[in-house]
């Protein structure tokens, strides 16, 4: 008898594993042939002729030291039509400052960059000199479940049932990436970006079923989604901002938008993003607000001295646009940064509130653990490890008017702004990412991700010795960061 056909799940798993072996290779190993290049003095006609001779869809523009300064592709050519001047310098039409990665970079980083920025090529450099180009096709052409193919399937999904299946595949692929040892920063970005794509498609499908005109709107992501730091266990944190162009009262507009928001929240729940127990969702009338109402609400939080209220509000402070008119969120973000920088008393209260969760270090033994229901002898790594890093970085970012919402980017920006030495910021970032990695590995090993704190509860006794020691050092660095915060704000 012939061997039984492998199940669909097994075929998917084998493809995923094969793809991860490819994505673990350095970019240098994927290069085939020399890149097609020209300099900025080339005319558009000359660049197109060179592309045609080489049978490629793009050309890289380099300087005298072979460093990439721009890229020009067939897509750029189409955008330039019909007012195309073939005699113009290619520099006029090229996309400047193209994205590039060093040759030793693992291929999965290029894949993530393509997904995040929706691009089809990544330039590969060696000591800043261009040595090749990796295309989306080179990474994904033989992999039906490639990141590029997966995002395309999400964009083409016709209903919520299809998106729920794709969301399941995203979680399955994420588990495989955890097993392959992908770095925590890239992994949380991968999860967040693909979850973004699923959310965007849900919003797009729902929007077609709700008719309204003369309303500018923006779907806002809060919390870990707003920071691009989602893990396996994540519920919904979102809101809606709108502006009315014909003078209609905000309450009337809210009546139109709430059914749309409710449909999106329910669809997200069907795709594996549980409804928020705290009702931090766009379907909550208190979080479906006009821009003026949002400013009033944020101002109210800035004036509230209750520590719990501040910590609850901090979920919203990390907002970013997800769908709709992103300019609404950008303007609101700039307003918020300008206002908070001028309120040292608020920043001091926020710093004080962020110090409530201390790292669980014991004086005579390694860790202070809790006997939580169903999880004795554990540490809530989110509450006492990850969140304090997030909270401290947020305080400094708001104090300095730093635009990033992502914690890693905030830590890097803090070094650039002189908040702390670069070496110290790198140590803090490494500690934060170590705790994130331990969380991800723990969650990847769970059969189900219940909507409580168990996916974030780590039993230190079950960690290997290296992770135990590393986690202890990470908590010590967190203690140092909190000491710096307390000293800076005289707490």
Domain ranges of the chain: 353-488
Could you read off the pLDDT of 261-305 as tens digits, one per residue?
Answer: 999 999 999 999 999 888 999 999 999 999 999 999 999 888 877
Taking the CB of residue 362, how many other CB atoms lie within 10 A of it? 10
* Reported pTM: 0.74
Residue 142 is predicted with a pLDDT of: 32
Residue 140 is predicted with a pLDDT of: 57
pLDDT tens, the chain, 491 aa long: 444 544 444 444 454 445 455 556 778 888 888 899 999 999 999 999 999 999 888 999 999 999 999 999 988 888 888 778 899 999 999 999 898 988 877 776 787 777 667 788 899 998 889 999 988 776 654 343 356 567 778 888 999 999 999 998 888 888 888 887 878 887 887 788 888 889 999 999 999 999 887 889 999 999 998 998 888 867 889 999 999 877 789 999 999 999 999 999 999 999 999 998 889 999 999 999 999 999 999 998 888 777 767 766 888 899 999 999 988 998 999 999 999 988 888 999 999 989 989 999 987 778 999 988 888 999 999 999 999 999 999 999 999 988 888 899 899 989 988 999 999 999 999 999 999 999 999 998 887 666 667 889 999 999 999 999 999 999 999 999 999 999 999 98
Residue 275 is predicted with a pLDDT of: 92
Residue 157 is predicted with a pLDDT of: 92
Residue 380, strand partner residues? 457
The domain 353-488 is placed in CATH, from the list 3.10.450, 3.90.79, 1.20.120, 2.40.128, at 1.20.120
Residue 171 is predicted with a pLDDT of: 86
52-73 CB burial, b ≥16 within 10 A, e <16: eeeebbbbbbbeeebebbbbbb
Residues 102 and 114: their CA atoms lie apart, in Å, by: 15
Peptide linkage before 82 cis (omega within 30 of 0): yes
Residue 23 is predicted with a pLDDT of: 59
For residue 442, give the nearest of 368, 382, 358 by alpha carbon. Answer: 382
For residue 35, give the nearest of 8, 11, 58 by alpha carbon. Answer: 58
């Amino acid at each position: 008898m012939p061997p039984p056909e492998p199940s669909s799940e097994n075929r998917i798993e084998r493809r995923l594993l094969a793809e991860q072996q490819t994505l673990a290779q350095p970019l240098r190993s994927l290069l085939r042939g020399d890149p097609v290049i020209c300099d900025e003095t080339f005319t558009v006609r000359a660049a197109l002729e060179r592309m045609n001779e080489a049978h490629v869809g793009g050309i890289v523009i380099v300087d005298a030291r072979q460093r990439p300064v721009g890229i020009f592709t067939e897509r750029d050519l189409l955008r330039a039509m019909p007012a195309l001047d073939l005699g113009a310098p290619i520099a006029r039409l090229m996309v400047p400052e193209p994205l590039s990665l060093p040759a030793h970079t693992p291929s999965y980083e290029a894949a993530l960059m393509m997904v995040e920025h929706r691009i089809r090529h990544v330039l590969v450099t060696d000591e800043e000199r261009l040595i090749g180009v990796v295309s989306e096709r080179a990474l994904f052409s033989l992999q039906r479940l490639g990141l590029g193919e997966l995002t395309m399937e999400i964009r083409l999904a016709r209903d919520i049932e299809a998106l729920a299946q794709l969301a399941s595949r995203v979680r399955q692929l994420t588990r495989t990436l955890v097993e392959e040892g992908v770095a925590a920063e890239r992994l949380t970005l991968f999860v967040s970006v693909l979850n973004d794509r699923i959310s965007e498609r849900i919003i797009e499908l729902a929007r077609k079923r709700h008719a309204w005109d003369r309303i500018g709107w923006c779907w806002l992501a809060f919390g870990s989604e707003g920071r691009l730091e989602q893990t396996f266990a994540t519920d919904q944190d979102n809101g809606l901002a709108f502006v009315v162009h014909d003078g209609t009262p905000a309450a009337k507009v809210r009546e139109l938008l709430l059914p749309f928001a409710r449909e999106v929240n329910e669809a997200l729940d069907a795709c594996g993003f549980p409804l928020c127990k705290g009702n931090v969702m766009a379907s909550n009338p208190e979080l479906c607000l006009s821009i003026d109402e949002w400013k009033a609400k944020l101002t109210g939080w800035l004036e509230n001295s209750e520590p719990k209220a501040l910590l609850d509000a901090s979920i919203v402070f990390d907002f970013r646009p997800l769908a709709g008119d992103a300019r609404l969120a950008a303007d609101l973000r700039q307003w918020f940064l300008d206002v908070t920088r001028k309120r040292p008393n608020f920043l001091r209260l926020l710093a004080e509130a962020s110090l409530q969760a201390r790292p669980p270090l014991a004086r005579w033994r390694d860790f202070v653990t809790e006997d939580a229901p169903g999880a004795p002898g554990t540490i809530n790594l989110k509450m006492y490890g990850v969140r304090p890093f997030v909270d401290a970085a947020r305080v400094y970012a708001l104090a300095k008017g730093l635009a990033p919402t992502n914690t890693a980017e905030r830590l890097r920006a803090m070094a650039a702004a002189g908040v702390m030495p670069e070496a110290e910021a790198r140590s803090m970032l490494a500690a934060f990412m170590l705790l994130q990695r331990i969380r991800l590995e723990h969650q990847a090993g769970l059969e189900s991700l219940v909507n409580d704190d168990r996916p974030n509860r780590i039993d230190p006794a079950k960690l290997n010795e290296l992770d135990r020691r590393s986690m202890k050092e990470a908590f010590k660095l967190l203690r140092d960061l909190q000491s710096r915060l307390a000293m800076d704000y005289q707490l």
